[in-house]
């Protein structure tokens, strides 16, 4: 029987240590930078179509605890100021994530955010607050938001799908997963993404814009699914620990990560059928798992393995710890790191990214 992960564990690694999300979210930062033209165009179109409201209200959903959220907010404000050509603008910004998110770490970055904003736009007033809660339900009053952004969050489901008993040693959708596993994940994603769009449809003003970025864009042929290689390797690591008696087999067989990377066709169909938004743009691109490893780093295979291991650990550890126990997490990722040393980085397929731009009808 599948065991669902409680909401309190659905967050990235907290703090600013070696394995924290703060220090292991550069791949996401690079992905966001590759999609900024979509963000910029959405801001331009909104200001052109409906102008600047008395107070521009922005929400970043799934903000997590690193630098990326405030960097995006800065970019949105910068482009609004450029396109609106207004003075003395006021902004209300909501940074939202689940209750277990490390908001304190995020708030520590606000002084630098305000300082840079004041230097670039001295007449601009910006008020930032944190809002804990699930974006798969209502978070804001009706017709209260002008612009919504979310990056690298919507591939996380609200819960682990039901009916995954046959997935056995896999901890996510993998090449060896039977058809019913794909169906279960797809069904849960459809339910969640529809709820997300419906909630934002109530909360956003007419003509408001929303830019969403997430892991997705898998090929239609599930048999050739390879993008989850590094996560599948984590599953193999756990299976080896079962064989050595470190982890109970029942615990492994009842664990599945609540992550689903949808296809382009699935996203288009859900947006169309839910009906609250018009889909303006959809782009797909791929990034290497080690995109943050520069050639100047001069890393040997051990340094490369540690860097990629920390990246995987930063987003998966809290969920793993909630199921298997926090006491064995160091051991899990030590085993995983050793397996990573044996991996040829050139043989690892890149992970797929999708960015979409929507307008509230």
Please report the sign of the dihedral spanned by the C-alpha atoms of residue 250, residue 253, residue 254, residue 256.
positive
* H helix runs in the chain, sequence order: 26-34, 36-50, 68-84, 103-107, 110-120, 179-203, 229-243, 249-253, 264-274, 301-324, 329-341
pLDDT digits (tens, 9 = 90+) for 190-206: 999 999 999 999 999 99
**Sheet strands side by side (includes 56-61):** 125-132, 90-97, 56-61, 145-151, 204-215, 351-360, 277-287
Between CA 39 and CA 355 the distance in angstroms is: 9
Q: Are the C-beta atoms of residues 92 and 55 closer than 8 Å to each other?
A: yes
Using pLDDT thresholds of 50, 70 and 90, give the confidence band for residue 228.
low
How far, CA to CA in Å, does 152 sit from each of 112, 209, 252? 23, 18, 26
Q: What percent of the chain has pLDDT over 90?
A: 64
For residue 102, list its beta bridge partners.
none
Distance of CA 41 to the CA centre of its chain: 21
Please report the sign of the dihedral spanned by the C-alpha atoms of residue 192, residue 193, residue 196, residue 197.
negative
Using pLDDT thresholds of 50, 70 and 90, give the confidence band for residue 230.
confident
CA angle in degrees (0–180, nearest 5) for 102-258-315? 40
pLDDT digits (tens, 9 = 90+) for 309-342: 888 898 888 899 999 999 999 999 999 999 988 8
Higher local confidence (pLDDT), 34 or 343: 34
CA angle in degrees (0–180, nearest 5) for 139-71-296? 135
Question: Within 10 A of 298 (CB to CB), how many other CB atoms are there?
Answer: 7
Across the chain, what does the average pLDDT equal? 88
pLDDT of residue 219: 47
pLDDT of residue 66: 82
Is pLDDT at 111 greater than 90 in this prediction?
yes
């Amino acid at each position: 029987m599948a065991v669902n992960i409680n909401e309190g564990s659905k967050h990235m690694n907290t703090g600013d240590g070696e394995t924290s999300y703060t220090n292991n979210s550069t791949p996401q930062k690079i992905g966001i930078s590759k999609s900024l033209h979509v963000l910029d165009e959405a801001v331009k179109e909104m200001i052109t179509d409906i102008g600047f409201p008395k107070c521009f209200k922005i929400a970043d959903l799934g903000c997590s605890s690193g630098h990326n959220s405030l960097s995006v907010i800065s970019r949105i404000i910068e482009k609004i100021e450029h396109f609106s050509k207004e003075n003395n603008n006021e902004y209300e910004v909501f940074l939202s994530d689940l209750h277990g998110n490390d908001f304190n770490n995020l708030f520590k970055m606000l002084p630098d955010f305000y300082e840079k904003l004041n230097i670039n736009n001295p007449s601009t007033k910006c008020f930032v607050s944190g809002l804990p809660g699930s974006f798969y339900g209502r978070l804001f009053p009706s017709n209260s938001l002008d612009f919504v952004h979310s990056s690298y969050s919507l591939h996380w489901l609200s819960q682990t799908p039901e009916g995954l008993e046959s997935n056995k040693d896999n901890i996510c959708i993998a090449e060896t997963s039977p058809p019913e596993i794909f169906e279960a994940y797809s069904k849960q994603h459809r339910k969640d993404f529809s709820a997300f769009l419906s909630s934002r449809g109530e909360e956003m003003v007419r003509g408001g814009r929303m830019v969403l970025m997430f892991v997705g864009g898998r090929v239609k042929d599930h048999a050739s699914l390879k993008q989850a290689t590094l996560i599948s390797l984590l599953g193999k690591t756990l299976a080896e620990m079962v064989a050595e008696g470190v982890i109970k087999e029942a615990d492994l067989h009842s664990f599945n990560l609540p992550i689903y990377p949808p296809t382009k066709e699935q996203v288009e169909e859900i947006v169309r059928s839910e009906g609250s938004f018009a889909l303006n743009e959809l782009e797909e691109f791929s990034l290497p798992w080690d995109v943050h490893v520069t050639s100047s780093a001069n890393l040997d295979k051990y340094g490369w393995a540690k860097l990629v291991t920390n990246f995987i650990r930063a987003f998966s550890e809290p969920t793993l710890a909630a199921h298997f126990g926090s006491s064995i997490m160091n051991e899990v990722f030590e085993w995983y790191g050793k397996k990573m040393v044996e991996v040829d980085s050139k043989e690892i397929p890149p992970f797929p990214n999708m960015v979409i731009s929507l307008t509230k009808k």
